[in-house]
Amino acid sequence: MKKEVLMLGFFIIFLGSISQTSSADCTPNWQCSAWSDCIDNSQIKNCYDINLCGISDGKPVERQTCGSNCIPNWICGEWDSSSCNETQLQKRTCVDENNCGILDNKPEDAMPCGFSEDYSWIFFFIVAIIFVLIIGAIWLLVKKMRD
């Protein structure tokens, strides 16, 4: 039994020396996800070593503050008037390229369709009435002069 415990001890020491040697010779290669949206003034990303060195040397920062320091950069698409007949609103999509997670200074993403009424016919109607009145007045003057 003592011999088995002694052999197990040597085996554990041997494995420990192998892992120490391999981690000393191993260079981490960190791969990270994109930053999350800003929630409660904090963003996170997950980083892992694809070489599985078991050490954290050179590991990138996985948490950063955001919110008050983050300034949204809104990029908006073109207005889509295809829903004007149904909702009387035209829409567009606006995206914050900085992923601040706040709506500060977000441009409008919906607006009335802006159907314009054409009232030019009123001008022509008034001009026509004035023209008829002038012609009528001239006709009455001519008729009165003949009598």
Tens of pLDDT, residues 29-60: 999 999 888 887 788 999 999 999 988 888 88
- Note the pLDDT tens digit of each residue in 79-99: 888 877 777 888 899 999 888
Label residue 133 by pLDDT band (50, 70, 90): very high
Residue spans per domain, the chain: 27-70, 74-112
CB atoms near residue 36 (< 10 Å): 15
Run of H or E residues at 7:
helix 2-25
Measured in whole angstroms, the distance separating CA 75 from the mean position of its chain's CA atoms is 7
Q: Is the pLDDT of residue 146 over 50?
A: yes
Label residue 132 by pLDDT band (50, 70, 90): very high
Kindly state the percentage of the chain with pLDDT values over 90.
29
- Note the pLDDT tens digit of each residue in 108-122: 988 888 765 667 888
Q: Average the pLDDT over each of 14-23, 111-120, 125-134 and give the range with the smallest value.
A: 14-23
pLDDT of residue 77: 92
Q: Who contacts 99 (Cβ-Cβ below 8 Å, separation ≥6)?
A: 35, 36, 37, 38, 43
SS3 65: strand
SS3 44: strand
